[in-house]
Chains A and B, each alone.
Chain A
Amino acid sequence: MNGIVPIALNGFREARRNRVTLVIFVFALVMVLTVTVSVEFTVATFDRVMTDVGLGVIGLIMPALALFLSTGLIPREIERRTIFMLVARPVSRSAFVIGRYVGNLMTVGFLLLVMALLFIAQLEFSHLTSAFGGGLHVAHLVALYGQLLEVILLTAVAFAFATVSSQYVSSLVATCLYFIGHMAEDLFQLSERSKVLPLKALGKALYYVLPNFDRLDFKDRATYFDPTSASELLGATAYTVAYTVLMLVVATAIFERRDFK
């Protein structure tokens, strides 16, 4: 798998030099900083408000950024023909896809890390300097870990669609899958209650086939400092890894067969 590392590092460098990414990053940091401000408008349950606002902002911006970066990457490479000089090298197409995926993940992972550190710093700062808040709780870390799993999976899903379609189509489909994936448990419950057999089967099929982002969402638990078991976290991690690998296998299989005219 020669070439994965240079392609991944170059992808990270590309995102760093992309003005749109930088603007979104600055916007995200400003939004995370509003956590402190939000407490000024709160009369009680400061912990919950800080947690909700902080994780909410991260939970909104990170998927948007992951979708923006991952759906445009490969279609843009093909459209601009920058791909010609890369895949003509002794690099397999699967190495190209994986390298691009890892580079994207490095970018969103780095942004998530910075936002998470800023969020944690605010929690700790408010805890130390005022009567507000109980500081960092393990439930916060679990929620942030869930967010990381979510962007890993979302990036892989978006990548798989971006290898076969344009940026617009892949971003539309991936966005729909993201929202449906967050309603996976509700879909399952609905199908369980349905008396129409085809609907029941369809609901269950969607639950098992589509990416289940609901399973990776621990933000509600962070709000109430509810514990998450190790087995649940392990299950979420295994699910993310398995689904991501599957998506990358699909993406590379499609990409191997593509003609670059």
Chain B
Amino acid sequence: MVNAVETRGLGKVYQLDVLKGRKRVVALDGLDLTIPAGHVLGVLGPNGAGKSTTIKLLLNLIRPTSGSALIFGRPPSEAEARRDVGYLPENPAPYEYLSGAEFVTLAAQLSGLKGAECRRRVDEVLGQVQMTSFAGVQIRRYSKGMTQRIALAQALVARPRLLILDEPTSGLDVLGRQLIREIVLSEKQRGTSILLCSHIIPDVEALSEDVAILVGGKLVRAGPVSELLSQQDAEAELVFEGLSHETLDGLRARVLQTGRRVVLRCPAAAAQDVILRCLGQKATLISMQPIRLTLEDTFLEALKAQGQKVGSVIE
């Protein structure tokens, strides 16, 4: 089966200061990425890591300076390649003079839907994003959350095989976030491939099967979420009472809190040794808790490994 997205050595360099011709911003550098059909890929990265650049390259909003990208086997520059793509941009800006229903109808028409089928799909997606009662209101009167829902509706209206969601839950309240998560899950169950960029790591962890971490325009980690999490050393958190400062010095553990109660964190493999040594010093073990590593830990570790780069590389 053909992959939903496939990029090989994809790169984008912006020229700054064209007259001097010296400064170059490497927004994306040699990205190799594959989203098999029906998979959900979460893309993480700090600001300026190249997430939005990747999306724009996949949608032909910008042109690559190196490498190539394919959507269901076709280059994004072909209009037909984008027929199966639904796109929700970060901070979506729909035409404010249109009502929600008019805007979604325009999107449906541009995707080739006509007549009764078009009207039926528009009604369906407006219901799906719970905007039916506001469908006739001009978008200029919408709140941010309502605009986000209408933008999601236009992305879904043509039943895309690939959904590209850039920060879909940003600026939404709890209910809005929950709704969007439910919609993404239902699309996932329908077999839609999804590329999900978000700063909200728990969302990415909950919705994605695979994760790619971009830092400074480069792909630094990629793989199934479970695999990335298992690559990290498990840790344990230990709480003691009556532990002297002298004992702490020789332990293979990080001290998180001192005082009457001392909180330590150490590799799970070293926990037994730490406990035995502390108990030998007449300390009392209050609790021991294995630390469940999250995607956030993986992300932060990847950032640290890259020197916590924020923004693109300027040459």
24 contacts between A and B (CB under 8 A): A2-B110, A3-B110, A6-B110, A10-B98, A10-B106, A13-B102, A81-B91, A81-B93, A82-B94, A82-B95, A84-B87, A85-B94, A85-B107, A85-B151, A85-B154, A86-B110, A87-B60, A88-B59, A88-B87, A89-B110, A89-B111, A90-B110, A92-B79, A259-B62
With A89-B82, A260-B61, A261-B62 in contact, is A84–B112 under 8 Å at CB? no
**In the complex, what distance in Å separates the CA atom of A100 from the CA atom of B111?**
17
Number of interface residues of A (CB under 8 A): 26
**In the complex, what distance in Å separates the CA atom of A80 from the CA atom of B89?**
13
Chain A contacts for B107, CB-based, 8 A: 85, 89
- In chain A, positions 92-119 with a C-beta closer than 8 Å to chain B are 92, 95
- In chain B, positions 73-121 with a C-beta closer than 8 Å to chain A are 79-83, 85, 87, 89, 91-95, 97-98, 102, 106-107, 109-112
Known: A89-B82, A89-B111. 20 other contacts (CB 8 A): A2-B79, A2-B112, A6-B106, A6-B110, A13-B102, A14-B97, A81-B93, A85-B87, A85-B89, A85-B93, A88-B82, A88-B87, A91-B110, A92-B79, A257-B63, A259-B61, A260-B56, A260-B61, A261-B14, A261-B56
Give chain A nearest CB distance to B55 CB in angstroms.
9
Q: A residues touching B (Cβ–Cβ < 8 Å)?
A: 2-3, 6-7, 10, 13-14, 17-18, 80-82, 84-92, 95, 257, 259-261
Chain B contacts for A10, CB-based, 8 A: 95, 98, 106
Q: Is the CB of B83 within 8 A of A90?
A: yes
Number of interface residues of B (CB under 8 A): 31
Most buried by B among A84, A95, A260: A84
**In the complex, what distance in Å separates the CA atom of A12 from the CA atom of B296?**
48
Give chain B nearest CB distance to A85 CB in angstroms.
6
The chain A residue with its CB closest to the CB of B58 is: A88
With A7-B110, A87-B61, A88-B82 in contact, is A80–B93 under 8 Å at CB? yes
Chain A contacts for B82, CB-based, 8 A: 88-90
Give chain B nearest CB distance to A124 CB in angstroms.
37
Q: Residue B97 contacts which of A17, A91, A95, A260 (CB distance < 8 angstroms)?
A: A17
Give chain B nearest CB distance to A24 CB in angstroms.
17
Q: Is the CB of A6 within 8 A of B109?
A: yes
**In the complex, what distance in Å separates the CA atom of A89 from the CA atom of B56?**
12
Q: Is the CB of A88 within 8 A of B97?
A: no
The chain A residue with its CB closest to the CB of B91 is: A81
**In the complex, what distance in Å separates the CA atom of A7 from the CA atom of B98?**
13
**In the complex, what distance in Å separates the CA atom of A2 from the CA atom of B79?**
9
The chain B residue with its CB closest to the CB of A79 is: B93
**In the complex, what distance in Å separates the CA atom of A91 from the CA atom of B110?**
7
With A82-B95, A90-B83, A90-B112 in contact, is A259–B63 under 8 Å at CB? yes
Contact with A along B175-195 (1 / 0, CB 8 A): 000000000000000000000
**In the complex, what distance in Å separates the CA atom of A13 from the CA atom of B63?**
31
Chain A contacts for B93, CB-based, 8 A: 80-82, 84-85
- In chain B, positions 260-312 with a C-beta closer than 8 Å to chain A are none
Chain A contacts for B14, CB-based, 8 A: 261
Q: Is the CB of A81 within 8 A of B89?
A: yes
**In the complex, what distance in Å separates the CA atom of A260 from the CA atom of B14?**
12
Give chain B nearest CB distance to A141 CB in angstroms.
35
With A6-B109, A85-B92 in contact, is A91–B62 under 8 Å at CB? no
**In the complex, what distance in Å separates the CA atom of A91 from the CA atom of B108?**
12
- In chain B, positions 50-68 with a C-beta closer than 8 Å to chain A are 56, 59-63
**In the complex, what distance in Å separates the CA atom of A80 from the CA atom of B95?**
9
Q: Is the CB of A90 within 8 A of B111?
A: yes
Q: Is the CB of A260 within 8 A of B110?
A: no
**In the complex, what distance in Å separates the CA atom of A261 from the CA atom of B60?**
11
**In the complex, what distance in Å separates the CA atom of A261 from the CA atom of B14?**
10
Chain A contacts for B97, CB-based, 8 A: 13-14, 17-18
Contact with A along B127-162 (1 / 0, CB 8 A): 000000000000000000000000100100000000
Chain A contacts for B81, CB-based, 8 A: 90
Most buried by B among A13, A85, A86: A85
Give chain B nearest CB distance to A92 CB in angstroms.
5
Give chain A nearest CB distance to B102 CB in angstroms.
8
**In the complex, what distance in Å separates the CA atom of A227 from the CA atom of B249?**
106
**In the complex, what distance in Å separates the CA atom of A257 from the CA atom of B151?**
26
Chain B contacts for A7, CB-based, 8 A: 110
**In the complex, what distance in Å separates the CA atom of A18 from the CA atom of B154?**
23
Q: Is the CB of B89 within 8 A of A84?
A: yes
The chain B residue with its CB closest to the CB of A16 is: B97
Q: Is the CB of B80 within 8 A of A90?
A: yes
Give chain A nearest CB distance to B57 CB in angstroms.
10
**In the complex, what distance in Å separates the CA atom of A133 from the CA atom of B22?**
70
Chain B contacts for A261, CB-based, 8 A: 14, 56, 62
Chain A contacts for B61, CB-based, 8 A: 84, 87-88, 259-260
**In the complex, what distance in Å separates the CA atom of A260 from the CA atom of B63?**
9
The chain B residue with its CB closest to the CB of A86 is: B110
Give chain A nearest CB distance to B267 CB in angstroms.
44
- 5 nearest A-B residue pairs (beta carbon): A90-B83, A6-B109, A259-B62, A89-B110, A88-B59
